[in-house]
Amino acid sequence: NPIIFLFFICYRALIFPLVIREGKPTPFFTFALALLFCVFNGYLQGRSLTTYASYPPGWLADSCFITGFLGWLIGMAINIHSDHILRNLRKPGETGYKIPRGGMFEYVSGANFFGEILEWFGFALACCTIESLAFALCTLFILGSRARQHHKWYLEKFEDYPKDRKIVIPFLY
Say how far apart CA 146 and CA 141 lie, in whole Å. 9
pLDDT of residue 32: 75
Classify 88 as helix, strand or coil: coil
pLDDT of residue 3: 66
| Mean pLDDT, 10 residues at a time, the chain of 173 residues | 63 60 68 78 85 90 96 95 91 87 98 96 94 93 95 96 96 95
pLDDT of residue 43: 85
Q: What are phi and psi of 88, to 5 degrees?
A: -110, 20
Rounded to the nearest 10°, the torsion over CA 149, 167, 114, 150 is -20
Radius of gyration of the CA atoms of the chain, in A = 17
Domain boundaries, the chain: 2-157
